[in-house]
Amino acid sequence: MGLSIREAVPGDEATILGFIKHLAAYEKLSHEVVASEDHLRASLFCEHPKVFALIAEVDGVPCGFALYFFNYSTFLGRHGVYLEDLYVAPEHRGAGAGKALLARLAQIARDNDCGRLEWWVLDWNEPAIDFYKSLNAQAMDEWTVFRLTGAPLEALANQDKASQ
């Protein structure tokens, strides 16, 4: 049977959440995981999902996943695929699951006339960076990521309300 990639289906929520928790632990971000199986079910398997997941399996046993959504580039005038999370269990790394997941995402991007496939990686994650470079992915070092969350997000949202 070997390695296969499939779309996530209802019932995969616990598997995906487990992978998310393992990824967060690896990235030293476990304290940020508040997602639940119910959150994943509501997001991935609703009537009109805006986020999607792929499962990598070896001999029918899940060994990794990719969670992605479509974004849009005003410069290209086309959609793109944004890879939110990619995780392969340590005992399966180096066997092609990560590359197979990215290849499937590249196919999804191509099949949907997307102009790019992109993702973030922590700057200290040298094994992942080396892997991505081996695929000829290019680092976007000139860009800085900004984020609003929690109280600052609420404050800005409330400020906008006041101006309406």
Catalytic residues: 132
b/e 81-90 (16+ beta carbons within 10 angstroms → b): bbbebbbbbe
CB 41 within 8 A of CB 8: no
CB 63 within 8 A of CB 89: yes
| The Cα angle at residue 85 between residues 138 and 115, in degrees rounded to 5 | 45
